[in-house]
């Protein structure tokens, strides 16, 4: 009977695994816009005057129709609609027994700003929640 060559010990395997580089962590948080930009919520609530000021100064706008935080997706607006919203003045944030409107601020890794109107918000002719 010949002896089989002895394989690596458990300790050898552990040392080998510990020396391996860690797998990269993939960021799957936030919401991705149609142009591929990843957005993360920065402030859960901002007031309507702040929202219109941000949009007047170049922030993008999206509407979260059901207020789910983007799970169902956002409605995204063109720069022309965003300019119309800025000219329309402050959005109306409504709340009743069944629905609660909100405005939040989101940022991108590149420093972009996004105002998200959530659920029961009316803003010019573009958003009528």
Tell me how far apart the alpha carbons of residues 122 and 128 are, in angstroms, rounded to a whole number. 4
Nearest to 104 by CA among 86, 82, 121, 83: 121
Q: Is the pLDDT of residue 82 over 70?
A: yes
Decide: residue 12, CB within 10 A, 0-12 exposed, 13-18 middle, 19+ buried: exposed
Q: For 44-55, how does the pLDDT look when each residue is reduced to its tens digit (9 = 90+)?
A: 999 999 999 999
DSSP state of 100: B
Tell me how far apart the alpha carbons of residues 55 and 69 are, in angstroms, rounded to a whole number. 20
Give the pLDDT mean for 62-75.
Answer: 86
Q: Is the pLDDT of residue 1 over 60?
A: no
Nearest to 41 by CA among 69, 68, 63: 69
Query: What stretch of H or E contains 113?
Result: strand 113-118
Task: Say what the pLDDT of residue 58 is.
Answer: 95
**Cβ neighbours of 34 (radius 10 Å):** 7
Q: For 84-123, how does the pLDDT look when each residue is reduced to its tens digit (9 = 90+)?
A: 989 998 999 888 888 889 999 999 989 999 999 998 888 8
What is the reported pTM? 0.76
Give the pLDDT mean for 6-35.
Answer: 81
For 34, how many CA atoms within 13 A lie in the half-sphere containing its CB?
8
């Amino acid at each position: 009977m010949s002896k089989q060559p002895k394989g690596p010990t458990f300790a050898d395997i552990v040392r080998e695994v510990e020396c391996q580089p860690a797998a990269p962590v993939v960021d799957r948080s936030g919401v991705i816009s149609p142009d591929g930009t990843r957005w993360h919520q920065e402030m859960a609530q901002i007031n309507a005057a702040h929202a219109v000021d941000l949009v007047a100064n170049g922030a993008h706008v999206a509407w979260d129709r059901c207020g789910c935080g983007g799970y169902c997706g956002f409605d995204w607006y063109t720069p022309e609609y965003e300019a119309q919203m800025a000219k329309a003045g402050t959005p109306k944030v409504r709340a009743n027994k069944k629905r609660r409107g909100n405005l939040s601020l989101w940022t991108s890794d590149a420093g972009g700003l996004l105002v998200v109107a959530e659920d029961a918000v009316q803003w010019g002719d573009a958003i009528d929640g």
